[in-house]
Amino acid sequence: MIKSRPARQYRSMSAGSTFALDAAFCESMRSPTDTSFTEVFERTAPFVWRALRRLGVREADVPDVCQEVFVVVHRRLGDFDGSSALRTWIYGICLRTASQYRRRAPQLREVPEADAREQTVSADQEESLERSRARARLDLALQRLDDDKRAVFVLYELEELPMKEVAAALGCPLQTAYSRLHGARREVEEAFRALSKPRQKR
């Protein structure tokens, strides 16, 4: 574990994303035979939303990409055989969909949170502002990871899945997943140190 920043602190940073998927989309897929899909959608949609954000999908594009994920879930749900946890199976779909998104999306320019203008806030807003800044730093740190390391870090540290399920979702040996996690933790910690350094005045 990263001793200077426990995993639960990273999970706290990742909280607070607003979930708001187009209700018409869900209704369009409901039919007398779609009860199981509706239940799956309601149980896993917030998880999918968070996962896509952490896998590099821009916030403005998350609703569309989230719908893409559930189109696949709806089409393939009958093929789910229960050999893995449902959330693990859906996360595998998230991984592939996010990867396709990144290939077709234009290269994004990282804008460090520190570039934002300083704002004067009241005392009761300071804690909320600090959490927001921490989440922004975490987002930037995740952007610096390669796809394999980011996937392990998001699923294990932020979504709290057992490493066995993480390895199953990624289709890799358990030891490989642990190795990627170790490297991801190190790189995230290094990124946090770099992003937390005070900017020198010109």
For the ranges 16-20, 39-43, 121-125, which has the lowest average pLDDT?
A: 16-20
Instruction: Report helix, strand and coil shares of the chain as percent, to nearest 5.
Output: 70, 0, 30
Determine the residue type at 11.
R
At 151 the pLDDT is: 92
> How many structural domains comprise the chain?
1
Per-residue pLDDT averaged across 115-134, rounded? Answer: 61
Domain that holds residue 163: 7-106+126-196
In this structure, what CATH number is given to the domain that contains residue 53? 1.10.1740.10
CA–CA distance from 140 to each of 90, 130, 160, 175 (Å)? 25, 15, 20, 27
112 within some domain: no
Q: Is the dihedral of CA 139, 145, 151, 154 positive or negative?
A: negative
114 within some domain: no
Give the three-class secondary structure for 42.
helix
21 within some domain: yes
120 within some domain: no
Mean pLDDT of the chain, nearest integer: 77
188 within some domain: yes
Q: Does residue 73 have a pLDDT over 90?
A: yes
CA 57 to chain CA centroid, nearest Å: 9
Q: Could you count the other beta carbons within 10 Å of the beta carbon of residue 64?
A: 12
Per-residue pLDDT averaged across 95-104, rounded? Answer: 88
Output the six-digit token pair for 143: 């952007």
- Confidence class of residue 38 from pLDDT cuts 50, 70 and 90? confident
Q: Which of 34-38, 171-175, 194-198 is modeled with the greatest confidence?
A: 171-175
At 113 the pLDDT is: 43
DSSP 123-184: HHHHHHHHHHHHHHHHHHHHHTS-HHHHHHHIIIIIS---HHHHHHHHTS-HHHHHHHHHHH
- CA dihedral 67→72→75→78, nearest 10 degrees, is -120
- Confidence class of residue 176 from pLDDT cuts 50, 70 and 90? very high
Q: Which residues contact 124 (CB under 8 A, 6 or more apart)?
A: none
116 within some domain: no
Share of the chain above pLDDT 90, in %: 29
Taking the C-alpha atoms of residue 23 and residue 63, their distance in angstroms, rounded to an integer, is 11
Per-residue pLDDT averaged across 114-128, rounded? Answer: 55
115 within some domain: no
Q: Does residue 141 have a pLDDT over 70?
A: yes
The DSSP secondary-structure symbol of 17 reads: P
At 54 the pLDDT is: 87
Position with higher pLDDT, 123 vs 183: 183
Per-residue pLDDT averaged across 32-58, rounded? Answer: 83
- CA dihedral 112→117→122→127, nearest 10 degrees, is 0
Contact 189, 2 (CB under 8 A): yes
The DSSP secondary-structure symbol of 189 reads: H
CA–CA distance from 186 to each of 33, 75, 158 (Å)? 47, 39, 16
Q: Does residue 155 have a pLDDT over 50?
A: yes
121 within some domain: no
- Confidence class of residue 131 from pLDDT cuts 50, 70 and 90? confident
At 66 the pLDDT is: 94
Per-residue pLDDT averaged across 67-88, rounded? Answer: 88
Q: Does residue 40 have a pLDDT over 70?
A: yes
